[in-house]
Structure 1
Amino acid sequence: MLNKLPCNLSQYLSAENNFDRWDEGILICKLLNSTPAIQANSYYFGHPEWAKNYFEACHRDEKFVDLWQAVIGSWHDKIVVDIGCGPGNLYASLKERCGEPQLLLGVDVSHGALKMAQQIGYTPILADAQQLPLVSNFADIVMLNACLHHCDDMAKALAEAARLVRPGGLLISDHDPQRTAYQLWGLGLLLWQIRLPLYRLLKRGGHSTSEEQFWSVATEVHHKPGDGVKPELYYQVLEPLGFIVKLYPHNHTVGAEVLEGNYGRAFWKCRLAQRLSGIEPDSPKAALSLMCIATRQG
């Protein structure tokens, strides 16, 4: 089967792998532990209508592009790995500004999402982010955008991503919920809970029907009150592997200013839920996301 693979891919595949088949240009790896989270992500992001809605609505706005371009600069002629790539939002948003990678690998558990990503330039691999079929120390840039909180074991997924980064390379993780922003209780927790029927009523993206909403929520295993990422996750996983770690809490209303310490203001509904829970919404711990930019020392 390996002789059917593109030469620019086969050299980066590990000897210890779980290759199953080569299907329409997608390398399929066996998912050894198909958990409910993996099944939900596979189904939701593989649904043609839901994936299209997600592709068009999420991680495409100007503030998002502004921040990520400031971090990446250019990925021209670089080897880039996008873990949890979904239908390809990251590359679709940044390709006009960041150049053309030498190789762009997209890893996801959803065959349907990978088919969409393939159409815009990804070399797709169906695999578990917690058990990547790739060699170590080869990628210039490894990206996990809105990925970790979809994984059962966030530390394991982060460590697997870090393993791929070459000395001098960059690991970027963002749009995972910061745990301290979601310590909701009392009236704040009630407001959080009633958002779902309201979203359905408004037919908000990802929530247009009860079925779509069910599967959308099922994918986000660590996006709930009292859960999410903490600074310790990044320091404990990445520093022993030789990374210099920089963290930037931020809301989704600011762009490159995040790198200057401007974490912005959350939307009013989030601020209200936080105030009702005793959280100061204008503090860095109340910022909804925690961006990690980690450089592997040479």
Structure 2
Amino acid sequence: MLETIELPTLSQYLTLTTEIDWERTNIPTCKIPHWTPGMQANASFFSDPEYGRKYFELENSSQAFGNRWRAAIGSWDRKVVVDIGCGPGNVYAAVGGSPQIFGIDISHGALEHAMQVGYTPLLADAHNLPFIDGFADIVTLNAVLHHCDDMARVLTEAARLVRPGGVLITDEDPLSNNETYQGLALLVIEARARFPMYWLPGRSKVYKSPEEQAWRLATEIHNSKPGDGVTPELYINTLEPLGFEIELYPHYHNVGDELFRGEQGKLGFKDTLIQILAGANAPKPPQSIACIAKRVRG
């Protein structure tokens, strides 16, 4: 017979000063006093039934994505997990298992879908999380930081939730490579940012029309122009002073669990073309960086 355990509830991890509306909708909702344009874009886009469905089914849903996340997490069964910026639930859908998993997002529609996947949802601002310190075994952020106005603040808030011995895992945030792009390559990626629908190598396979591509681009607060994105220094300077040991894994998006055996994957067609335009001697930087940070000090 399987051992039965009492699962923790959301309310026991909230601060005493947290204001939550438990009744107006089916999603517990924190009061968010200030909405930036980027927050509004993310909340609206991922609440849209059509675009949210596309994101769940076609982005961050590959076999390589699932293999990479399962290898990074290991077993999270019976552990307390907080998935910040969970969207419609891609990480849990890819990893599976039986954690007690809380999904945090500012998109009501995304949280409704995540709840069907198995999350306990909470609508809240990642810049100001309503949780007590140090209660989570695992905190995850997949493709989240570059959607936030203040990436360092969100990373700090996420780190605050991790208990000693717990881990913080982030991935799928674009790696800043401003120094790589020059000359014609710089013009090309600027054109991709401004007119993604009309330049073939930059055309999205998921979002077809100019309207939906423009709306999707509006959610990418730190991924809309050359040089945007995260840097290794963001993780080092933010997390090490908070007591974390950090492992960083730059990679291309088609890599699976082999990432943790020293492979980074391969560059796709459109990005290979940009590198050719940048020049034969230009470096070939990976697209994203995964961070696995273990809290070794309280």
Q: TM-score, normalised by structure 1?
A: 0.90
Q: Which residue of 2 aligns with 1:207?
A: 207
What is the number of equivalent residue pairs in this alignment? Answer: 287
Q: CA deviation at 1:153?
A: 0.2
2:47 matches 1:46:
yes
Unaligned runs of 5+ in 2: 1-6
Secondary structure, aligned partner of 1:293: strand
Matches of 1:145 and 1:253, distance apart in 2: 15
Secondary structure, aligned partner of 2:129: coil
> Would the aligned equivalents of 1:78 and 1:140 in 2 still touch at CA under 8 Å?
yes
Greater Cα offset, 132-141 or 202-211: 202-211
Cα deviation 1:58-99 (Å, max 9, x = unaligned): 11111111111111111100001110011111111111xxx2
> Would the aligned equivalents of 1:84 and 1:108 in 2 still touch at CA under 8 Å?
yes
Matches of 2:64 and 2:171, distance apart in 1: 13
Secondary structure, aligned partner of 1:290: strand
Instruction: Tell me the amino acid that sits aligned with residue 196 of structure 1.
Output: P
1:110-189 correspondence to structure 2 within 5 Å = 110-180=107-177, 183-189=180-186
Q: CA deviation at 1:243?
A: 0.3
Secondary structure, aligned partner of 1:176: strand
Instruction: Tell me the amino acid that sits aligned with residue 144 of structure 1.
Output: L
Secondary structure, aligned partner of 2:109: helix
Q: 1:104 to 1:216 in 2, by over 3 A?
A: same
Matches of 1:190 and 1:292, distance apart in 2: 30
Q: Sequence identity of aligned pairs in percent?
A: 49
> Would the aligned equivalents of 1:200 and 1:210 in 2 still touch at CA under 8 Å?
no
Q: Which residue of 2 aligns with 1:217?
A: 217
> Would the aligned equivalents of 1:182 and 1:225 in 2 still touch at CA under 8 Å?
no
Matches of 1:109 and 1:288, distance apart in 2: 26
Q: 1:67 to 1:201 in 2, by over 3 A?
A: closer
Q: CA deviation at 1:237?
A: 0.6
Q: 1:181 to 1:67 in 2, by over 3 A?
A: farther
Q: Which residue of 1 aligns with 2:188?
A: 191
Matches of 1:145 and 1:236, distance apart in 2: 20
Q: Which residue of 2 aligns with 1:263?
A: 264
Q: 1:176 to 1:281 in 2, by over 3 A?
A: farther
Cα RMSD (Å) of the superposition?
Answer: 2.2
Q: 1:261 to 1:203 in 2, by over 3 A?
A: closer
2:88 matches 1:77:
no
Unaligned runs of 5+ in 1: 1-5
Cα deviation 1:82-122 (Å, max 9, x = unaligned): 10011111111111xxx201x21000010011011111111
Q: CA deviation at 1:235?
A: 0.6
Matches of 1:281 and 1:94, distance apart in 2: 36
Q: CA deviation at 1:281?
A: 6.6
Secondary structure, aligned partner of 1:172: strand
Q: 1:211 to 1:11 in 2, by over 3 A?
A: same
Q: CA deviation at 1:271?
A: 2.0
> Would the aligned equivalents of 2:204 and 2:213 in 1 still touch at CA under 8 Å?
no
Secondary structure, aligned partner of 1:64: helix
Q: 1:227 to 1:156 in 2, by over 3 A?
A: same
Cα deviation 1:127-164 (Å, max 9, x = unaligned): 11111011110001100000000000000000000000
Matches of 1:142 and 1:58, distance apart in 2: 21
Matches of 1:50 and 1:182, distance apart in 2: 33
Q: 1:78 to 1:58 in 2, by over 3 A?
A: same
Q: 1:209 to 1:83 in 2, by over 3 A?
A: same
Q: CA deviation at 1:21?
A: 4.2
